[in-house]
Each structure stands twice: as C-alpha cells, then as structure tokens.
Amino acid sequence: MSINANEKNELTVGDIGEVELIKRILPMLRQPEGRIVLGAGDDAAVLAPLDGKPVITVDTMSQGVHFDLAYTSPADLGHRLFAANLSDIAAMGAKPVAAVISLALPGDTPVSFVEGLYDGFRELSERFDVAVVGGDIVGSGDGITATLTLIGEAGENLLTRSGCRTGDLLLLTGEIGLSEAGLQNLTGNVELPGELGAAADKHHLRPAPRLGIGRILTDNGLATACIDTSDSLAISLHHLSEMSRVGFVVDADALPVSAALIDAERQLAEDGRHPDYNPTGYALYAGEDFELLFTSPPENVDRIIKLVNETDISISVIGETVVPERGITLLRDGRETAINAHGFAHF
Amino acid sequence: MSINANEKNELTVGDIGEVELIKRILPMLRQPEGRIVLGAGDDAAVLAPLDGKPVITVDTMSQGVHFDLAYTSPADLGHRLFAANLSDIAAMGAKPVAAVISLALPGDTPVSFVEGLYDGFRELSERFDVAVVGGDIVGSGDGITATLTLIGEAGENLLTRSGCRTGDLLLLTGEIGLSEAGLQNLTGNVELPGELGAAADKHHLRPAPRLGIGRILTDNGLATACIDTSDSLAISLHHLSEMSRVGFVVDADALPVSAALIDAERQLAEDGRHPDYNPTGYALYAGEDFELLFTSPPENVDRIIKLVNETDISISVIGETVVPERGITLLRDGRETAINAHGFAHF
C-alpha cells in the first residue's frame, strides 16, 4: 500500500531533504556517555574499545514483504527491525553495544513516518542500553527498505549453532505460533477474542528479544547450542541439526503451542481454509516468534529452569537430541513423523 | 530499468530460493584465518578482539537512484558500494576489518546478478584484506537495495571532521570531477575521447578508496581534520566548516580539475546544455570522487607531499583555513565568491 503522503498533505522527506531529515533524527538517537568516542555526524562512528569479541548481525525489512503499513505503525516497524537484530545477539549469548541504521525511502515518505520509525528504535535502544551511532538515509525508487546492523560483544562462552550433542535436551523459551496468530488477527483472516487477540497482535508487532536468557546461558555455561526461532521452529531445528550434525525428537505434547494460535487454527479449519485442524503442525512452521531454542546436557536443566523462572519468561523442555541418522521428527501418539524445513520463504 | 531476467530466461533468485542462494555465495566470501571466530552461517558473526577502537560505517545504494543497470555491471555496483564504505574508513584514518552485506532483491533478479555483485565485493575485500562475515538476503517488492556495513579499527589518532584550525592548509588527493565526467560519458551525454573516457568511466564505476593516505596521515599525526568528497568538494568543505567552526578560501588555480571534466564541460557548454563554460564551478559541485579532503598545519605539508608522492596518488594544496566569519569562498582572478553547499541530493 502507498503511504498516501500527498493525500494527507503531510510534510515529506522530499520536501525537507536529507540534511534537514538527519537534523531532526539526531536528537532521537541514544548515544550513551563513555561508550561512544565519536557518534553520528562524521565519516564513521567510533566506539570505545570493546571488552570482548565483536559480534555483528544485520537484518533488512522491505515494504510489502516484511511489513504492511495497513496494520504496522512506523514505531512497530522500528521495534520489529531492532528486535530481530537483538534476538540474533541474544541467540549468541552476547551483549548488544551499538547500532547503525540505513533507510532507503521514496521521496513522498512523510517525515512523521521516519520519526515514528526512530521512536520504535529508541524504545529498544533505551531498554537494552544500545547506542545508535549513525546510519545512512538515501532515496529509493519505490518502497521503503530499512536495514539495521548491530554490534555486540561476546565473552568467553559463545552460544553457536554447532555445539549440540546426542543426549542433550532441547529447550524453548515462550510459546510458539503467537506471532503467526497475531499476523492472522491483524490481517483480519481470523478474529481472536479480546485479550487473546491483543497479546498476539503485540507479540507480532513488538516482539521481545530474549537477551536476558541468552546471558543466563552463557554466563553460567549452561547450553551447548542455541538459535532463535525467527524463521520457524522447524527451520531452526534444521539449522541446529545441520551445524551440529545431530537429529532431534520433538515431543508434541510438550510443545508450548500458544492459545491464540489454537484459536486461529480452529477458525481457519472450521470453514475449510486449512484442510485439517492441526495447531501443533501449524505452530511448527510459523515464523517470527523470536524465541530461543537451545540444547543442554540433562544435568543442567533444573538449574536453567530455576534461573529462567526468576525472569517472567516461560521455558519448556520440548524434546531431545539424537543421532543424525534419525533425522528430525515429531513424536505424537507414539509415532514419529518427519519435521520438514518449512517456514517463511523470502522469494 | 528492469533486469529482464525472464526475457533472457536466466535462473532467478526466486527459482532457487534464499537458502540455495546463500550456499552459492558463501564460498565467495573472504574469511581470513585468525580474524574471524565465527563466520557467516550462525545467528551472528564473531570477530577476534580488535586492537583499537571499533569504527562503524554503513552505505546503501538503491536501483534507479544510485545505479542504473544500463551501464553499471553487477560487479561495478559491488565495487562502488564497498569502495564508498572503505572511503569512509579511509577518511577516519582507520583500518577496515570486516563487512556484512544486506540485499533486498525482487524475486526475478538473476542469480548471475548476485554472483556478479559478490565478485565486486570480493575484489576489494581481497585487495584490502577485509573479511566478509555475513549479511542478510531478503525479498523486495520492486528494485534492488544493497547495504554494506563496514567495521574498522582506529588507533590513537583519529581523523575527524572537527579538528581543523585557522591557518591550516587545505589539501586534496587526486582530481575533482573525474567521476562526474565518467557518469556523463557513460550515460552518453558527452563523448570523451579514448583513454580520457576510459579513465573517467573506470573512476566512476570502480572508485579507489584512499585507505593508504588515511593511514599515512594518522600514523604520523599529520592532519587536523579529514573528510571524503563523496557528495561534492563543496559539500565536504561545508561539513568541515560546520564541524570545525572555520572558514575556507579555495584557490581556483590550485584546484586539480580533471581533464575529462574540462572536456565534458566544453561539450555541455558548446551546445548550450550548460549556460556558461565553467569547469571549475562544475567540478566543485560534482560528487562521488571519493578523494580525501584534509587540513594540516603548514609545517607538516612538505612531509605529507613527500609521503603521498611515494604512493601513485597525486596531492594538491588547494587553499587555506580562515576564521569562520569569512565563510567558504573560491578565490579566482583576485576575487572571492561564495561556495554553496550543493551536491548530490537524495530526494
């Protein structure tokens, strides 16, 4: 959809130009003292030396592919892009330090859109004490593209995708399918009741990166491998499997399928839009939950549950690591069926 | 312009999908031993600890705004985007370490386009020993957007835009207007003869970042302020003036206006496309030369010229720093006229 700048007669980025736009944004950037040697406004930003190893991640969101301005506010978009990057840093068990943000914008983009976007960035940069040290703002022929690069620092323990061993248990934070339920509700495909709908919408538009959990795992050396579930639980399992050369058996009864997704699936199945009622199957392949999926030797699991319970985030043991020959399966009613590498496809 | 993938029946990114595309690209990334703890393929990349302060810069290029595939090859585009970032690191006097690259691509983008792009990245990453540690590849509704974020490291001396003092001399590497002459030649607005045209085209499509010069200046503490001339010499002067609170007098006779731009301006003026023949004026406001503009106390200038002459890059003293009240002027035939903040406008 178009942002309809001209219909509303709003001030556009084309009206004020790049220099004035940057002047408006600069005061919105969090630039904590001590962390930054040189912030936005020079050829490049300079940070104070890092204590640990630099960790780098980047995410891009394109209008019409990753967001629809019909139900995503500019601040929602800023939040989601920042959260996606923070989630990658969380999955490494690292600490976020500084971000740079690049925007490609059509000339008719309202200035208020860019300010809203930075409101979304600011909220998370303040919550997690991340400096926003600069970026680039350029013109675009058609559609908005936003890219955020996040620099973090890692200590001695790194949470990679490759350290998982046969016999490790498989754990998952939060619920699955909540973001997908929010998306279905926001687009009007289903109508989720009251609080259930509101929670799902919020989880989709304003996902919470699990930075605290990632740090609990690395600070205490409790996990052997970790990944976030941004694409889908199924795809995340396949990534862990490929990088660690292991298989997984996931226990269907242990999967924390969100109540909102169960309700959405009921509505989609009732009138034949989904061929069978299968909330677990649906949740496995739904994306954008930004939870942490990780593995741990059985002897660490009590301690993990105790430490995670001290936060307000839920945690579930959802299965176990097996030899690679067994593949990745869902155990339901005593039978194992293959979990395929499905999820959100970009093209 | 469209890439016309379907007309040529080429394999597209939509045909093979993101996972297969990344598999093809991964072997093309330079990932030097020792520098990288964890390369592309995990939630985030992890670098070995840096010796100095982290330096971060990001540049985005959009199809139809920053490049036209009618005369820009994919490898040219990759080269230019990488060079623009390296130029920012050069202007800080820092050393490039690692890059992440993000692409938003329409589904009908040929796979060969992405491979060509990475050929361009690889050439500069090898020449300057920069690791390419990952990125993001996503779909795009319309048009290609490419974003490169570069991490460098800075030692004790930083070249900022703000250290310039009254009395400092103003120096410039290379020539001005060569990139603009190349652009005019490539788009067919002018016809530059043989070698003159080839050199201008190459300078526009494959600009050379001045990393060696930046390091000479910081290693020896020779410059007080520095910026690259990516927007235009005029805009770069205004940035230095604003950040250092100084004025400048630029000597028209000392400006290294490129022979190619003089020829292009002659052609544009002859048939009235430019109102007056004024190569110096044209060159001042032409962008994308990626030269270094810097200031230095007069006593350092002989040493700078000697050190730069040992490279194959030319250098010119083009003016001097004056009190801010005098503004930014061009001295020509004994008269000073204001240099305005004109250059490439994004919107």
A57, pLDDT greater than 70: yes
Q: What is the pLDDT of residue B157?
A: 86
Q: How far apart are the first and last CA of chain A?
A: 19
For the stretch A3-36, pLDDT in tens is 544 556 889 999 998 888 988 988 888 777 788 8
Range B215-230 average pLDDT: 95
- Hey, is B252 helix, strand or coil? helix
Supply φ then ψ for residue B7, to 5 degrees: -60, -40
pTM for this entry: 0.92
For the stretch A278-301, pLDDT in tens is 999 999 999 899 999 999 999 999
Range B129-154 average pLDDT: 93
CB-based contact (8 Å) between A50 and chain B?
yes
For the stretch B35-89, pLDDT in tens is 889 888 888 999 999 989 999 999 999 988 888 889 999 999 999 999 999 999 9
Q: What is the pLDDT of residue B1?
A: 37
Q: Do A17 and B88 touch (CB under 8 A)?
A: no
Calculate how close chain A gets to B195, using CA atoms only, in Å. 32
Q: What is the pLDDT of residue A344?
A: 55
- pLDDT band of residue B142 (cuts 50, 70, 90) is confident
Under a CB-based contact definition with an 8 Å cutoff, are residues A172 and A256 in contact? yes
A140, pLDDT greater than 80: yes
CB-based contact (8 Å) between B47 and chain A?
yes
Contact residues, chain B, for A54 at CB < 8 Å: 46-47, 49-50, 54, 98, 151
B344, pLDDT greater than 60: no
CB-based contact (8 Å) between B265 and chain A?
no
Range B194-213 average pLDDT: 96
- pLDDT band of residue B3 (cuts 50, 70, 90) is low
B346, pLDDT greater than 60: no
Q: What is the pLDDT of residue A40?
A: 83
ipTM: 0.90
Range B299-320 average pLDDT: 96
Report the distance separating Cα A210 and Cα A201, nearest Å: 18
- pLDDT band of residue B347 (cuts 50, 70, 90) is low
Tell me the DSSP string of A119-171: HHHHHHHHHTT-EEEEEEEEE-SSS-EEEEEEEEEE-S----SS---TT-EEE
Torsional sign, CA A49, A55, A56, A57: negative
